[in-house]
Amino acid sequence: MQDESYKKSKAEMLPDPVVCTVDVVLLTLREGSFCYALVPREQEPFQGVAALPGGFVHPAEDKDLRASAERVLRDKAGIQGVYLEQLAVFSGVARDPRGWSISVAWYTLVPLEALQAALATGVILREVADLGGLPFDHAEIVRVALERVRSKSTYSSLPVHLCPATFTLPQLQAVYETLLGEPINKVSFRRKMEELAFVEPIKGEFDSSGAHRPAQLYRLKAKYRSRLSLTDRGMNSGG
Whether the CB-CB separation of 28 and 111 falls below 8 Å is answered with: yes
Q: Which amino acid, 70?
A: E
pLDDT tens by residue, 185-228:
999 999 999 999 999 999 999 998 876 789 999 999 999 999 99
Taking all residues of the chain, what is their mean pLDDT, rounded to a whole number?
92
* Cis geometry, peptide bond prior to residue 45 (ω within 30 degrees of 0): yes
157: pLDDT strictly greater than 60 = yes
Residue 19 CB coordination number (10 Å): 17
In the chain, where do the E strands start and end?
19-30, 33-40, 50-51, 54-56, 84-92, 101-109, 124-127, 199-207, 215-220
Res 6: pLDDT = 47
Domains and CATH numbers, the chain: 16-152 (3.90.79.10), 158-224 (1.10.10.10)
163: pLDDT strictly greater than 70 = yes
Neighbour-count burial of 218, counting CB atoms closer than 10 A to its CB (0-12 exposed, 13-18 middle, 19+ buried):
buried
> What is the 3-state secondary structure of 13-61?
HCCCCCEEEEEEEEEEEECCEEEEEEEECCCCCCCCCEECCEEECCCCC
- Give CA–CA dist 65/235, Å, rounded: 32
Whether the CB-CB separation of 57 and 89 falls below 8 Å is answered with: no
Residue of 191, 195, 155 whose CA lies nearest to 176: 155
Res 3: pLDDT = 58
Residue of 118, 122, 128, 169 whose CA lies nearest to 150: 128
Q: What is the pTM of this model?
A: 0.91
Instruction: Tell me the percentage of the chain whose pLDDT exceeds 70.
Output: 91
89 by DSSP, 3-state: which? Answer: strand
Res 197: pLDDT = 98
pLDDT tens by residue, 67-112:
999 999 999 999 999 999 999 999 999 999 999 999 999 999 999 9
Report how far apart, in Å, the C-alpha atoms of 222 and of each of 20, 159, 199, 218, 219 are: 34, 16, 9, 12, 9
